[in-house]
A and B are shown apart, each in its own frame.
Chain A
Amino acid sequence: MKVAIVGATRGMGRALARRLAERGDALFLLGRDEAELARSARDLEARGAPLPVGQARLDLGEPAGFAAALDAADRSLSRTDALVVTGGLFARQDELAADPGRLSALLQANFTGTVLLCQQAAERLAARGGGLICAFGSVAGDRARRGNYLYGASKAGLAVFLDGLDLAYRDRGVRTLCVKPGFVRTAMTAGLPVPPFAGEPDAVARRVLAAMDAGRHDVYAPGVWRFVMLLIRALPRAVLRRVQF
Chain B
Amino acid sequence: MLMYIALVLTAGGCGGAAERASTNPYAGLPPDVRPRPVGPGAAYRPPAVAAAVGRRATIDGLRCLASPGRRFGVHLELFAHRYVVHIPAGIGVAPPQRSRGAYVLRGACYYRLRTLEPTGVFQVGPGRVLALGDLFAVWGQRLAARRLLSFRGPVHGFVDGRRWRGPLARIPLRRHAEIVLEVDGELPPHPAYDFAPGL
Question: Are A and B a genuine interacting pair, yes or no?
Answer: no
Chain A residues packing against B (C-beta within 8 Å): none
